[in-house]
Amino acid sequence: MKIKQSGFTLTEVMVVIAIIGILSAIAIPNFIQWRNSAQLNNTTRDLMTDLSRSRLHAIQYGEKTTVRFKTDRYEISSTNLNITKEYRRAVRMSGAGEPIIVFMVTGLADHGSITLEGGGETMTIEVNPIGRIKLI
């Protein structure tokens, strides 16, 4: 009487492991690029929201509101407001100097732009003199 054995041969297991390795080698760099790009998009969206809130704070409370940009963070300040936020990992502000945007009590602003970079991409936010904030 012969006993029937079931299972996989060593060759079959090695072929499956090789296929998984090849697929991983292709997918991981794309996943890292996608993650860095998503972090840049989220940071840009958060920054645009905070700029809008800073403008509204200046109008609502009648206080000049200042947004100072650093390489790895930005600071929002006025008489009764002090907030510091760091950019997400893998996102940095590019360009020379440390831009400052000031929102007046009327909602008008100093003209300026901020460029963020991450994941091989860049995004620029512009604030025009009437306080409009847009992605360019």
Q: Are 77 and 100 in contact (CB under 8 A)?
A: no
pTM score, whole prediction: 0.79
Give dist(CA 21, CA 57) in Å, integer: 53
What mean pLDDT do residues 57-82 have?
93
Higher pLDDT, 50 or 33: 50
Domain encompassing residue 23: 10-135
What pLDDT is attached to residue 44? Answer: 93
For the cut 70, the answer to whether the pLDDT of residue 1 exceeds it is: no
For the cut 90, the answer to whether the pLDDT of residue 68 exceeds it is: yes
Closest-CA residue to 120 (of 97, 94, 99, 98): 94
For the cut 90, the answer to whether the pLDDT of residue 27 exceeds it is: no
CATH code, domain carrying 122: 3.55.40.10
Residue 1 covered by a domain = no
What pLDDT is attached to residue 89? Answer: 84
Residue 2 covered by a domain = no
Residue 60 covered by a domain = yes
Residue 22 covered by a domain = yes
For the cut 80, the answer to whether the pLDDT of residue 136 exceeds it is: yes
The total number of structural domains in the chain stands at 1
Give dist(CA 118, CA 88) in Å, integer: 10
Higher pLDDT, 126 or 96: 126
Residue 4 covered by a domain = no
Residue 5 covered by a domain = no
